[in-house]
Amino acid sequence: MKILISTWSLQVGGGEVLAMNLAAELVKRGHQVVVFNQRDELIDQKLVQRLLPPEVQVLSMADKPLQRFWAHKVNALQDRLGRPAVFYEECQRTYLKECLMRHRIELISSHATFSDRLCAPVAQQLGLPLVITEHGEYSRFILEGRRDFATVLHSASRILTVSKYNQQVLQGAFTDLPPVQTVYNGVTTDNANTAAEMRQQLGIPREAFVFGLVARGIPDKGWEQATQAFRLFQSLISNQQRPAHLVLVGGSEYLRQLQVTCTEDAGIIFTGQVPNPDFYIAGFDVGLLPTYFQAEALPLAIIEYMINGKPVIATRVGGISELLAPATGAAGQLIELDAATRKPGVPMLAQAMVRYYTESALYASHAHHAQEASQQFTMSTCAAHYEDVFQQVLAASA
């Protein structure tokens, strides 16, 4: 198959990383894949180099710098005149159409709402099947009362959701959608990483008990609540001998400001933005994600924790409970959001941390179940499902 994978950006983010990993895995399976980056200025070159093989060409408006420059100028003029600033988007569609024809693309796989909106009319014009993956944004729109994206969803040949939660939200809001099914995200990890190397690099003792959080650097992922809970946790286990650390893996201006407030706590370590979070996850004992992000669907960070055999403490948001409460047994502890603030309760989070620190049998059981359940979230399993869907869609369109 000749496939174009379209995404909002090529930076750290669940949908973006999944799109790049999917492209790489589909190439391994013998397909021809190109990636179209809708926001060409949002690209993490180190991440792209790590995730995408040379065979996957990245396309964007950056390929046409002069046209890109003038398109932005016209957009700015439209905005100043009080008109809809749509010229740049129109230029993107023109270039997308050119790419689809040049590479003789047979199917478009889109991984962001902005991308879906751009791809839908071009796919219809060229008669190409469009497969939309819902990573949580549409579910958030629906919860906010929006329905203005219905036309885009109806233009798809198939809609994939990354969790059953998202599928239920979509089908509860619309009764006449194209076929909708859940395909769980998959991740790739570097099995060569060891806890000893990570701890040596960060100056953490081998015997320390390490909590870690990997996520985008936005407040809604619960970074501040994690630091507050860790301080409370430290006060609750103050008579214990085993040292404890909290490692926060991510980068943003928000996290730099949060780091300033934590300078007096040597147990809290900020790594900044890194291209290889699995290196740090290898050194965790427990993975954290106290998120209250409204568009949370099926976080890749939790899957990475589980594949590395780390039990998880996370909030009951989106599809997270599908990850941590599999049929094989609990792989972590779920924290409820506070009814008033809609944020994770810090005392409850701290108590969950204490349980893993003090109850070795509970820790061992959840770690075992995490490793066991993670096998359904490998990238090869995920790509096989996508491949099957693409083949079905192409057969139906033929």
pLDDT in tens, the chain (398 residues): 999 999 999 988 888 999 999 999 999 999 999 999 998 888 988 889 888 999 999 999 889 889 888 878 887 888 787 887 788 889 899 999 999 999 999 999 999 999 999 999 999 999 999 999 999 999 999 999 999 999 999 999 999 999 999 999 999 999 999 999 999 998 887 667 788 899 999 999 999 999 999 999 999 999 999 999 999 999 998 888 899 999 999 999 999 999 999 988 889 999 998 888 889 999 999 999 999 988 888 898 999 999 999 999 999 998 999 999 877 789 999 999 988 888 999 999 999 999 999 999 999 999 999 999 888 888 999 999 999 999 999 999 87
Do 101 and 247 lie in one domain? The reply is: no
Alpha-helix residue ranges (DSSP H) falling in 174-250: 195-202, 223-236
Residue 73: predicted pLDDT: 84
- The reported pTM is 0.85
> Do 63 and 23 share a domain, yes or no?
yes
- Rounded CA gap, 376 and 277, in Å? 21
Domain limits at 50? 2-187+378-397
Give the closest residue to 332 by CA, choosing from 314, 355, 350, 316.
Answer: 314
207 in the same domain as 62? no
**Could you tell me if 19 and 49 lie in one domain?**
yes
Do residue 26 and residue 69 come from a single domain?
yes
Same domain? For 145 and 229 the reply is no
Which residues are registered as beta bridge partners of 3? 33, 107
Instruction: Indicate the angle between helix axes 300-307 and 14-28, nearest 10 degrees.
Output: 60
- Tell me how far apart the terminal alpha carbons of the chain are, to the nearest angstrom: 13
Q: Are both 385 and 347 inside the same structural domain?
A: no
pLDDT in tens, 252-297: 999 999 999 998 888 999 999 888 888 999 999 999 999 998 888 8
- Per-residue pLDDT, 15: 86
Residue whose entry in the numeric block shows the structure tokens 């780390």: 310
Give the sign of the dihedral formed by CA 376, CA 378, CA 382, CA 387. Answer: negative
203 dihedral zone (left: phi>0; alpha: psi -120 to 50; beta): left
- The CATH number of the domain where 298 resides is what? 3.40.50.2000
145 neighbors 121 (Cβ within 8 angstroms): no
Predicted pLDDT of residue 191: 67
Amino acid at 121: P
Asked whether residue 123 falls in the same domain as residue 243, the answer is no
Same domain, 36 and 182: yes
Closest CA to 179 of 162, 159, 165, 198: 159
Nearest by Cα to 171 from 180, 158, 183: 180
Are both 213 and 322 inside the same structural domain?
A: yes
Q: How many domains does the chain have?
A: 2
Do 162 and 285 share a domain, yes or no? no
Angle separating helix axes 87-102 and 113-126, nearest 10 degrees = 60
Structure-token match 């989070």, residue found: 349
- Residues 178, 251, single domain; the answer is no
**Neighbouring residues of 221: CB distance < 8 A, sequence distance ≥ 6:** 213, 215, 250, 289, 290, 291, 293
Token pair of 207 as six digits = 């015997």
Q: What is the DSSP string of 311-359?
A: -EEEES-TTHHHHHS-TT---EEEEPBPTTT-SB-HHHHHHHHHHHHH-
- DSSP assignment of 242-305 equals S-EEEEEEB--HHHHHHHHTTTT-TTEEEEES-S-HHHHHTT-SEEEE----TT--S-HHHHHH
